[in-house]
Structure 1
Amino acid sequence: MSVNQTITLENYSGQQQRVMSVSRIRVLTLIGTIIAQFALGSVYTWSLFNAGLAEKLNVPVDNVAFSFGILSLSLALASSISGKMQERFGVTKVTIAAGLMMGAGLLLTAHASSVAMLYLCAGLLLGFADGTGYLLTLSNCVRWFPERKGAISALSIGAYGLGSLGFKYINLALLEHVGLNNTFLYWGAIATVMVVIGGLLMNDAPTQATGSQRQTNDFTLAEAMMRPQFWMLALIFLTVCMSGLYVIGVAKDIGEQYAGLSFSIAANAVAVIAMANLGGRLVLGVLSDKMPRMRVISLALLSSLLGMTILLFGHMTIMNFYLALGCIAFSFGGTITVYPSLVSDFFGLNNLTKNYGAIYLGFGIGSLCGSMVAALLGGFSATFSVIFGLLALSLLLSLLVKAPNRVPSLV
C-alpha cells in the first residue's frame, strides 16, 4: 500500500468517525429535547388545581385561574429572550437552570398563602422557567436537523403536548393520594429531574456558514423586524393563538352555556381537544416537510375558520360542537408546530431562537386578547365574530406573503 493510499484511508476513517460522532450528538440532543419538552408541557395541567387552590386561599376560582394567564404571558416573554441566554451560557446550562427554576416555582406554589404570592410563583416564575426551556430546546433541536425541520418540530412539540396529557394522570393520582401541597412538591421534583436529564443530553447546534457564505435569507432580529413579512407572520401567529387559546380555555363553558349541552358532554371536550391538538402537531408537522410550509399554515387557518363557522352559524348538536372544537385545536396544534420551521425558512436558522422568540410573544398576547375581547363585548357570539374576521384576514395574508430575500452579504 502506498503512502498516498494510507493517508487516504486514514482521512476516510477520520471522516467516518466525525460523521458517527455528529450523528450520535444529534440523536442524543433529540432524545434530551423530547424528555425536557414532556416535562415542560406539564404546566397545561394547571386547571386541575384551580378549585383546590381557591378553597385553600378562600378566593373565587376566577382569581386563581388568572394565574395561568400570567403564566402564558411570562412564558412568551421568556421565550423571546432565551436566544440571548443560549448565546451566553449554552443550551445545557440554560435548560438545567430552567428545570431548577420550574421546581422552585412549584415548591413555592405549594406554600403560597395569598393570591399575590400565587401570581408571583405559579404565574411569573413558573411561566418564565417553562418559556425559557420550551423555545430554547425546540429551536436548538430544529437547527440540528435542517433537512427534517417539520418532522423534528412535530416530535418535539408533540412531546410537549403529550406532557400535558401524561402529567394529567400523574397529578390526578398525586392529588388523590398525597394532597394538594405535596402534589406540587412531587410534580416539581419529577419535572426538574426530567428537564435536567434532558439538558445534559443536549449540545448546542452548530452555526451555519457566515461571511462570504452567509445565506441570503439569514436575518438578525433587527433586520427581520424591518421586513413586512415579519409582522404578517406575527399577526397570523397571534390570531391562531388567540382563537385556539380562547376556545380551549372556555370549551366546557361553550358547551354548557352556548351550545346548551350537559356538563358531562361539555367536559368530554377536553379529550377531543387533546386528541385534535396532538393530531394537528403530528399531521401538519410531517406535512410541512412535503409541501410549502406557508400552504400548510393556510390549511391550518382554513381548519380554524371551519370550526369558527360551525360555532357561529351551525346548529349546536353534540357532533357539531366536538367538530368545531376539534378543527380549532387541530389548527392551533399544527400552527405551533410548523411555525419554528416556517420562521427559519423566512429568516434563516442562525437567529431562529431570537426571531421566533419575538413572534412567539403573540402566544401570550393572544391568550390575553381573547379574554379581553370577551370581557369587552360580552357573550360568545361577539367574540367568535371578531376571531372569525381575524382568521379570514390571516388566511388572505398567508396566501400573499412571500419569503424575503437579498443579495448575499460579506458581513
Structure 2
Amino acid sequence: MTVLLCLGTVYSWSVFRKPLEDELSISATQSLLPYTIALLFYALLMPIAGFYIPRLGARRMIMLGGLIVGFGYICSSFAHNILTLTLTYGMITGTGVGITYGVPMAVVARWFPDKKGLAVGLTIIGFGLSPLVTAPLAKNLIDAYQVRPTLLIFGIVFTLIILLMTIVLKFPPVDWQPKEKTSASTVTSRTVTYPKTLWKSRSFYGLWVCYMIGTFVGLSAIGISSPVGEEIIKIDPGVAATSVSLFALFNGVSRPLFGWLSDRFKPRYIAIAAYTLILIACILMVNAQEGQVITYLVAFCLFWFCLGGWLALAPTTTLRLFRPEDYAQNYGIVFTAYGIGALLGTLVAGSIRDWFGSYTYAFYPMGGVAILGIILASFWLKRDRPIETS
C-alpha cells in the first residue's frame, strides 16, 4: 500500500497542469502530454515487468522501479519545455511506475490465495488514495516553492520511501499455504481447467476491451478534474485542487469493494454496474452549470469511483480466469488495455477542450463509450468462468 501510495501521485497531475501551462506557455492538450505518456509507458512496462517478477524477485524489481521513478521526478524538476518534461516525467517516471506497480499485487495474491479479490483490492487502495495525500501536498508545495522544486522534493522522498519498503516485501515460500482454508473442501472436490494461453480465450478479449473502455473514461475524467471545476463550475482553484482529495477517497474505497464483489459475483454484472454509474456521471456533467458544485462533486466522485473499481475488477478477473501461477505475466498483458485507454482518453479530452473551448463536450464521447461498454459486457463477459470438471 505504501509503495502504491507513492506511485499513485501520477493521478495528482491535474494539480501540476495549470502552473505548468502558465510557466511553459503551453495549451491544455500539451499540458496533458506528460501525464498521458506516463500512463502509456506505465502500461507498456507492465507485461515486461510481469515476465521478470518471478525471475528477479519482488525486492529487486521494486528497488529498480523505485530508483527510476525518483530519477524521473528529479529530472522533471530541471525540464524547461514540454518536450523535455514529456521525456522525463512521461517516459522515465512512467517506466518506473510500470516496473513497480504489479509487484505488490503479485506478492499479496501469493500470500492470500483464498481471498485474492479482497487482498488485491486492499493493496491497490494505496494507488487510489494517493491523491488524497499528494494532491493537497503538491498544491501547498507549489504555492510555497513553485512547481519545479515540488517535483524535486517528490523525487527524493519517493525514492527513499520505496527503497525502504523493499525490506518487507517478499514472496511466501514455494509450498506455503494459508493456515486456515475456509473453502478447502470445495477446492479439493473439483479440478479447475484454465485456458493454455490468453490469446486462445474469448474472455481475454472481452476483458481487454471492457477494461480499455473503463480506463478511457476514468483517466479522461481524472486528467481534467481540477480544470473542469475551475472553468465550468467556476470554483476557486484551491477548492478544485482540494476536491481531488475527495475524489481520491472514492477511488480508493472502490478498490477493496470491487475486489470483494469480484470474489462473489460474475464480472459482467459488476462491469455493467460500473458503466451505468459512468453514464449517470456524464449526464450530470453535460447539464452542469456555473455554481453547481454538488453536481460537479457527485459526478467526479462517480468517475473516480468507477476507475478504482476497474483497477480491482480487472486483476481479480484475471486471477479467476487464468492460472494464478502466471498472474504477473497475464495481468501485465491485460493491463495494456489501461495504456490504450489512457492514451485515447487523455488526448480526446484535451483536444476537445482546445477545439470547442469547453470541457463540457468531452462528456458526450465518455457517455457514448459507457453505453458501448454495457452492450459489450453483456455479451463478451458472459463466458467469464473457467471450465470446471468434477
TM class by smaller structure:
0.7 to 0.9
Q: Report the CA distance between 1:197 and its aligned residue.
A: 2.0
Provide the rounded CA distance (Å) in 1 between the counterparts of 2:11 and 2:56: 28
Which of 337, 357, 366 lines up with 2:341 in the alignment?
Answer: 366
In the alignment, what sits opposite 1:341? 316
Which of 287, 298, 301 lines up with 2:261 in the alignment?
Answer: 287
| Alignment gaps of 5+ in structure 2 | 177-189
In the alignment, what sits opposite 1:396? 375
Q: Report the CA distance between 1:168 and its aligned residue.
A: 2.7
Please show how residues 295-334 of structure 1 align to structure 2 within 5 Å.
295-312=269-286, 317-334=292-309
**What code does the residue aligned with 1:155 have?**
L
Structure 1's 206 and 81: CA in aligned 2 closer, same or farther, altered over 3 A? Answer: farther
Provide the rounded CA distance (Å) in 2 between the counterparts of 1:183 and 1:384: 32
The worse-fitting range, judged by mean Cα deviation, of 53-62 and 97-106 is 53-62
Structure 1's 395 and 117: CA in aligned 2 closer, same or farther, altered over 3 A? Answer: same
Q: Report the CA distance between 1:127 and its aligned residue.
A: 0.4
**What code does the residue aligned with 1:402 have?**
R
**Contact 2:49–2:99 at 8 Å: present in 1 too?**
yes
User: What is the root-mean-square deviation of aligned Cα atoms in Å?
Assistant: 3.1
**What code does the residue aligned with 2:216 have?**
M
In the alignment, what sits opposite 2:211? 237
Higher relative contact order (CA 8 A, sep 6+): 2
TM-score normalised to the size of structure 1? Answer: 0.79
Which of 167, 176, 185 lines up with 2:152 in the alignment?
Answer: 185
Cα deviation code 1:246-277 (max 9, x no counterpart): 122223444565xx522339826534422322
Which of 107, 124, 130 lines up with 1:163 in the alignment?
Answer: 130
1:201 aligns with 2:168: yes
Q: Report the CA distance between 1:304 and its aligned residue.
A: 1.6
In the alignment, what sits opposite 1:7? none
Structure 1's 178 and 292: CA in aligned 2 closer, same or farther, altered over 3 A? Answer: same
**Contact 1:301–1:391 at 8 Å: present in 2 too?**
yes
Provide the rounded CA distance (Å) in 1 between the counterparts of 2:175 and 2:203: 22
The worse-fitting range, judged by mean Cα deviation, of 85-94 and 70-79 is 85-94
Cα deviation code 1:205-229 (max 9, x no counterpart): 56799xxxx9644445xx2122221
Provide the rounded CA distance (Å) in 1 between the counterparts of 2:247 and 2:209: 23
Which of 250, 255, 276 lines up with 1:276 in the alignment?
Answer: 250
TM-score normalised to the size of structure 2? Answer: 0.82
Q: Report the CA distance between 1:140 and its aligned residue.
A: 2.8
The worse-fitting range, judged by mean Cα deviation, of 354-363 and 65-74 is 354-363
In structure 2, the residue corresponding to 1:201 is in which secondary structure? coil
Provide the rounded CA distance (Å) in 1 between the counterparts of 2:264 and 2:4: 25
**Contact 2:62–2:99 at 8 Å: present in 1 too?**
yes
**What code does the residue aligned with 1:262 have?**
K
Cα deviation code 1:279-299 (max 9, x no counterpart): 322432333334344433332
Identity of aligned residues (%): 23
In structure 1, the residue corresponding to 2:60 is in which secondary structure? helix
The worse-fitting range, judged by mean Cα deviation, of 136-145 and 241-250 is 136-145
In structure 1, the residue corresponding to 2:324 is in which secondary structure? coil
Cα deviation code 1:51-93 (max 9, x no counterpart): 4445554545653432111111111111121111213311110
**Contact 2:14–2:224 at 8 Å: present in 1 too?**
no
**What code does the residue aligned with 2:327 have?**
L
In the alignment, what sits opposite 2:235? 263
Provide the rounded CA distance (Å) in 1 between the counterparts of 2:58 and 2:74: 24
In the alignment, what sits opposite 1:111? 78
Q: Report the CA distance between 1:157 and its aligned residue.
A: 1.2
- State the structure with more CA Rg: 1
In the alignment, what sits opposite 1:3? none
